Chain A
Amino acid sequence: MILGGIDVALILTSDHVDVRGAFAAVALVVGWGFIGIGLFAWDRRPNNSVGSLMVATGFAWLLSLISASNVSVLFTAGVFVSSVYFVTAIHMLLAAPYGRGLPRGDRRIVTAAYVLVTVGLLPLYLFVDPARDGCDGCPENAILIEHNQTIVDIWSSLVNLVGIGLIVAVLISLIRRWRQATRPERRLYAPVYAAGVALLIAAIAQLALQTAGFAGGAAEIAYIISIIPLALVPYLFLASLVRVRVAQGGAVSDLMTRLGEAPQPGGLRDALADALEDPSLELVYWLPDAGRFVDFRGRDYPLPEDDPARAVARIEREGECVAAIVYDASLREAEQHVRAVGAAAALAMQNERLDAELRAKIGELRASRERMLRIGLEERRRLERNLHDGAQQRLVSMALNIRLARAKLNEDPLAADQLLASAGDELTSALEELRELARGIHPAVLTDRGLGTALETLASRAPVPVELAALPEGRLPEAVELAAYFVVAEALTNVAKYANASHATVEVARENGRLVVEVADDGVGGADPEHGSGLRGLADRIAVLEGRLEIDSDRGRGTTIRARIPCE
């Protein structure tokens, strides 16, 4: 305010300013506009440098106007900083809209421009006498060495050309920025960009005309024209801030209306994408049981992590996560708005989440049906092989022996007796093999006595000492008992085969409607579920029951296999 007042006083009393009243008014509109709106933006978004750069532009502008003074020192100081506001304005345009650090190219342009309008202009001001440069009422140049028209002409042309080059570079950078901008970004900042581009073009025109030697008339007009977009920049910026608010309010009410209509599957995502003007938006639902996110079709959707282009807003309802909106990171500015939209749609999300959950279930069921078929086929194949290689071969050889014995019964009873004895041995072996085979298909003791007794048998047959730390009381659903039995059987088989363990512990307990089966050994660890069909088949068996199989097997730390099987 003080600086503005001083400026107005200096302008109104100036001997070398033409349209004093109008110029004083423009001075305040531009200076206070930048500072006031800059402070407002700075306060609302302290991490966004646009606000602070606007304030800087305002001050630089007001400072430059002390060149209106009739006092030599003030005049000289004002003239010396007279182009700084333009560079801070460029800086602001390049920093908009997010006000984060500039990319390297932009940073170089801005740095070069700051150097140019300060150090770069110094030689010019050392050799120019305003009175001999066409300014009649101007006071003396306080830092004049001597007037040298040649240096002034050459140096000012040089500075102007470099200046034009820098401004063109800024224009190119802005255009590239615009082409990369998302729809919401363009919608927001189009007016500010337009004003900025107008300012830059006017400045190029002014510098070009100056260089071409139209110092007096046309360049002056270009300068005056360039003031108009400059003056507009802060107000257009303010308008965009306000419009965001209004548009956001409107988007929420539009969304509410749309949610009232009968939604299609996935329609909620589209409604949110429209409300937030982000076509890349994804709406994903949290399935607490499965512990993962899925899209509306029920397909897995892992949330993006460390992706600078994508932002995530989790939508909660009654303290529980129901969904997450994955959106364009350029909207991160409007995170509050995304949350507001999300909150407005939370109820609808709840419904669609149930749908998604159902679809995910159907997908899982389909997958588990396929797995079940595969398990069945594999088991049939294994059975066929075992029967063929084992009992069948023995029976064939036995039949052969009996035939031979019959043939020899009369002529060589001793040989016949031996043949029959060996047939008897074959028979015993065949019976044993059949017995083991049957146990592998379904242990009778499991049906008869339940999991506890069956596991005791398994434990006592294991080649390493097995401690049964806990066993469930009473009977469980048959499928659950069988799955738990196979978990322990497979785990103990692995312990015997690979673990090189001194002992193992089996623990089976009910926890929150789940049967938790844990087999731990103190062996070498390093079991890999991806290799070896045993563990994979086990995981399938458990998955079919909607359970989960976990394997902790760090090398050297033993192996723990844990299955969680739902069982009400």
Chain B
Amino acid sequence: MADDSVLLREGVVRLLEDNGFEVVGQAGDAEDLIRKVRAHKPDVAVVDIRMPPTNTDDGLRAALEIRAELPDTGVLVLSQYVEEGYALDLVGDSAGGVGYLLKDRVADVDRFVESVRRVAEGGSALDPEVVAQLVGRARRDDPLAELTPREREVLELMAEGRSNNAIAEHMVVTDRAVEKHVTSIFGKLGLAPAPEDHRRVLAVLAFLRA
């Protein structure tokens, strides 16, 4: 867990430990983070985007370094701002084991813990606001206009990195209904179906950023 604010860092650590995680290391700056990740090789690193030494996007750059160097370590970046640019940079060409959440989300403990777990297991977790930003972008001849409101909702949840099961639970429908929506969305947007959740995320993101 890396954050230069001790208060927040310890809060998150306690929260994670309360929910069954083992926190192997804490870091207050980007260099410390990379050193400790190399030493412990954790399942997931939770990283604040703004950290010393330069107090700009050091956390994000460290996260990119970790992703390149240790593909088995998931990285969940916490940000003060909704910047889809950061999220897209972070995802790069693989949405496996990566997450980008607004810092506020730690307050919603259950969802936060679920996101950390998903990233640790090789999935993805994109903040709903980032997704809303991407989906809501004004486009000429918007292909998203073809989607029904339900399909739009499914698309957004998919882009966040949620599984069909989680989507079904969230929308209070059956898995089967979600599958039907997903097929329809991919058809309407002209995307090839992707088997794994995180590949699906990448396909959707690639579509949305185009």
Interface centre among B84, B85, B139 (most CB of A within 10 A): B85
B143-178 contacts to A, CB under 8 A, are none
Interface residues on A, range: 20 to 34
Residue pairs across A and B with Cβ atoms less than 8 A apart, 14 shown, are A427-B107, A428-B107, A435-B81, A435-B82, A438-B80, A444-B81, A445-B81, A445-B85, A445-B86, A456-B85, A461-B137, A462-B138, A463-B138, A465-B138
B183 interface hit (Cβ, 8 Å): no
B50 interface hit (Cβ, 8 Å): yes
Contact status B133-A460, CB under 8 Å: yes
* Residues in A neighbouring B43, C-beta threshold 8 A: none
Docked complex Cα distance between A457 and B56 (Å):
17
Docked complex Cα distance between A253 and B7 (Å):
84
B179 interface hit (Cβ, 8 Å): no
Docked complex Cα distance between A448 and B55 (Å):
9
Contact status B85-A466, CB under 8 Å: no
Given A444-B50, A456-B85, A503 contacting B57 (CB threshold 8 A)? no
The smallest beta-carbon distance between B210 and chain A, in angstroms, is 12
Selected contact of A457 from candidates B84, B104, B107, CB within 8 Å: B84
Given A431-B104, A447-B56, A466 contacting B138 (CB threshold 8 A)? yes
8 more contacts with CB within 8 A, not counting A432-B104, A462-B138, A463-B138, are A428-B107, A438-B81, A444-B56, A445-B81, A448-B56, A453-B85, A460-B133, A466-B138
A557 interface hit (Cβ, 8 Å): no
* Residues in A neighbouring B40, C-beta threshold 8 A: none
The smallest beta-carbon distance between A532 and chain B, in angstroms, is 23
A 396-438 to B, binary, CB cutoff 8 A, 1 in contact else 0: 0000000000000000000000000000100110011001001
Interface centre among A460, A465, A466 (most CB of B within 10 A): A460
* Residues in B neighbouring A431, C-beta threshold 8 A: 104
B 62-83 to A, binary, CB cutoff 8 A, 1 in contact else 0: 0000000000000000001111
The smallest beta-carbon distance between A448 and chain B, in angstroms, is 4
A439 interface hit (Cβ, 8 Å): yes
Given A444-B50, A448-B56, A449-B57, A460 contacting B84 (CB threshold 8 A)? yes
Docked complex Cα distance between A460 and B86 (Å):
13
Docked complex Cα distance between A260 and B64 (Å):
70
B104: nearest chain-A partner, CB-CB = A431
Docked complex Cα distance between A462 and B133 (Å):
10
The smallest beta-carbon distance between B195 and chain A, in angstroms, is 29
B134 interface hit (Cβ, 8 Å): yes
A 228-251 to B, binary, CB cutoff 8 A, 1 in contact else 0: 000000000000000000000000
The 8 closest A-B pairs by CB, nearest first: A448-B57, A465-B138, A448-B56, A460-B137, A453-B85, A465-B140, A431-B104, A445-B83
A454-472 contacts to B, CB under 8 A, are 456-457, 460-466
The smallest beta-carbon distance between B22 and chain A, in angstroms, is 28
* Residues in A neighbouring B50, C-beta threshold 8 A: 444
Contact status A444-B85, CB under 8 Å: no
The smallest beta-carbon distance between B157 and chain A, in angstroms, is 20
Given A428-B104, A449-B57, A457 contacting B138 (CB threshold 8 A)? no
* Residues in A neighbouring B104, C-beta threshold 8 A: 428, 431-432
B 82-109 to A, binary, CB cutoff 8 A, 1 in contact else 0: 1111100000000000000000100100
The smallest beta-carbon distance between A155 and chain B, in angstroms, is 96
A194-215 contacts to B, CB under 8 A, are none
* Residues in A neighbouring B83, C-beta threshold 8 A: 444-445, 457
A464: nearest chain-B partner, CB-CB = B138
B141: nearest chain-A partner, CB-CB = A465
B81: nearest chain-A partner, CB-CB = A444
Given A444-B50, A448-B56, A465 contacting B81 (CB threshold 8 A)? no
Docked complex Cα distance between A350 and B86 (Å):
53
* Residues in B neighbouring A457, C-beta threshold 8 A: 83-85
Docked complex Cα distance between A444 and B104 (Å):
17
Docked complex Cα distance between A453 and B56 (Å):
14
The smallest beta-carbon distance between A451 and chain B, in angstroms, is 12
The smallest beta-carbon distance between B160 and chain A, in angstroms, is 18
A428: nearest chain-B partner, CB-CB = B104
The smallest beta-carbon distance between A536 and chain B, in angstroms, is 27
Docked complex Cα distance between A464 and B140 (Å):
9
* Residues in B neighbouring A456, C-beta threshold 8 A: 85
Interface centre among A448, A449, A457, A465 (most CB of B within 10 A): A448
A 495-519 to B, binary, CB cutoff 8 A, 1 in contact else 0: 0000000110000000000000000
B61: nearest chain-A partner, CB-CB = A448
B 28-65 to A, binary, CB cutoff 8 A, 1 in contact else 0: 00000000000000000000001000001100100000
The smallest beta-carbon distance between B108 and chain A, in angstroms, is 9
Contact status B81-A439, CB under 8 Å: yes
Docked complex Cα distance between A456 and B139 (Å):
14
A503: nearest chain-B partner, CB-CB = B140
Docked complex Cα distance between A463 and B81 (Å):
19
Docked complex Cα distance between A438 and B50 (Å):
14
* Residues in B neighbouring A502, C-beta threshold 8 A: 140
